Amino acid sequence: MEFTEKDIKQIASKNLTVDKVNAQIQLFKTGVPFVNLKDAANIGNGILKFSETEKNQAIKFFENKRNEKAILKFVPASGAATRMFKFLFQFIQEYDANHESVNSYINRNKASELSLFLVGVEKLPFYDQALSKVNELIPNFNSLSQDEKKLEFIKIILETDKLNYGFYPKGLLPFHQYKDHVSTAFEEHLFEAALYASSNNEAELHFTISEKHKNIFDAEFKRIEEIVEAKTKTKFNISFSYQCQSTDTIAVTPKNEAFREDNGKLLFRPSGHGALLNNLNQLDADVIFIKNIDNVVVSKYENEVAESKKMLGGLLIELQEKAFAYLHKLEENDLSEKELITIAEFLKTKLHVVINIEFEKYSKTYQIEYLREKLNRPIRVCGMVKNEGEPGGGPFWIKGESGNISLQIVESAQIDKKNKSQKRILKNATHFNPVDLVCGIKNYKGEKFDLNKYVDPKTAFITMKTKTGKDLKALELPGLWNGSMAHWNTIFVEVPLITFNPVKTVTDLLKATHQINE
């Protein structure tokens, strides 16, 4: 595609190259191939289910090892809360107080979210704050009709010169109402980290945030630091990073031509959570827990969540230690046939690596090389919850282009739902990805892997979006826990539903795991 001088300057300002942008446009033209599902991963076929004894053993193993390890918790937290309030923004825009009641609006639009919000509003963590703001700004609030009160209350929450919650990063919104204070998701992540992501009474947390929110995250940490440290007897080291502009991708028109804004500039968009691989790649730790910012619980459920995390962490460390011991042995090159078969068995049964059927026919030198290549990779243990009909990705066995079969987390957008056999496999899925990972990013010599080498670039996503009312196609990089980790060694373990409590919409805060008095 031909770019103007101005375009080239704009591309360079994002640390991108014309070649890279053209390659992205080419991808829109050729389309991203669907993945080839071989089977759904379920219990006994790619997903482990621990007995109570096995769980306790893994937790004990983790507790014995944690102070020898550099542990870090990585939290993608750049999301704004705008989507949480989408149905309220819509209500303010569409509701006509002169011609209908709030109830008739709800009935006309089948607005069940709004109905739930209004019924449960007093249980929301920001209710008192919003009410005091309402009374401060509208002195005659109590004399208004019920419908007027509802409308004014919602306006106070959202409007930019009022509480402006739609602008807030999700991590800094009021999330949980305790007797003596209101906590944010950011604060809950600190309390949680003290339980399972700390070592020698210190916890390292890394949040990926939007650069414009850095000051308010800093202010929030300053406000709560001493309180949380005193309560948990843990010192917190917090670091932040931003999504790199060079990971932005160009948007195109439905005809695959570069999409231009009204001022003639090219439109670039953030390329989804796959862009965060760069951020993860900069970090240095032995064990990294990954969990989304909105997936937290009130304090009474934290121990249950922490137990599940420690179980996953214990399994990771145990498998990693065995893999490292085998890699040291392979380096000596002096292994018997029996030892080589033991290592192949470990890969097959413990790391769920499908070994080539020709393996036993390989020369000994090639067997050693093959095993080393399969073992010497980043490793991740991923919690999986039973599917309760949540949208999103899940665990599957995938057949790659070269015929390799591996365990992957797959988003539904990557699956060809028009293909009957693929649709049937999708229907057989029993588990769902809650984004609950424990990762080992160092090799057996203690050196960091370059995580960019383990990405499958063909697992990007193309999605339809709009900008100022015009349709466009957007490109997302291979998801952080999808194609970005395609060539990691992957272990799936069933974890309890209590570990999955995302807040996609503000009414999710009414669920038991976000309520203190339930």
pLDDT tens column, 466-502: 888 889 999 988 999 999 999 999 999 999 999 999 9
d(CA 306, CA 194): 9
pLDDT of 390 above 70:
no
Task: Decide: 471 and 253 in contact? Cβ < 8 Å.
Answer: yes
As a whole number, mean pLDDT of residues 325-349 equals 93
Q: What is the rounded average pLDDT for all residues in the chain? A: 94
Question: How many CB atoms sit inside 10 A of residue 489's CB?
Answer: 25
Percentage of the chain modeled with pLDDT above 70 = 99
Task: Name the β-bridge partners of 73.
Answer: 205, 289
pLDDT of 345 above 60:
yes
Residue 276: per-residue pLDDT: 94
The dihedral through the CA atoms of 219, 189, 132, 107 has a sign that is: positive
Query: Which residue in 184, 187, 141, 140 sits closest to 165, CA to CA?
Result: 184
Task: Decide: 485 and 424 in contact? Cβ < 8 Å.
Answer: no
As a whole number, mean pLDDT of residues 331-336 equals 86
pLDDT of 12 above 60:
yes
Q: Give the confidence band of 412 by pLDDT, cuts at 50, 70, 90.
A: confident
d(CA 364, CA 466): 57
- Please give the structure tokens belonging to residue 509: 């805060």
d(CA 54, CA 250): 48
pLDDT of 130 above 90:
yes
Query: Which residue in 3, 29, 33 sits closest to 256, CA to CA?
Result: 29
The torsion angles phi and psi of 3, rounded to 5 degrees, stand at -115, 145
Query: Which residue in 401, 465, 331, 440 sits closest to 33, CA to CA?
Result: 401
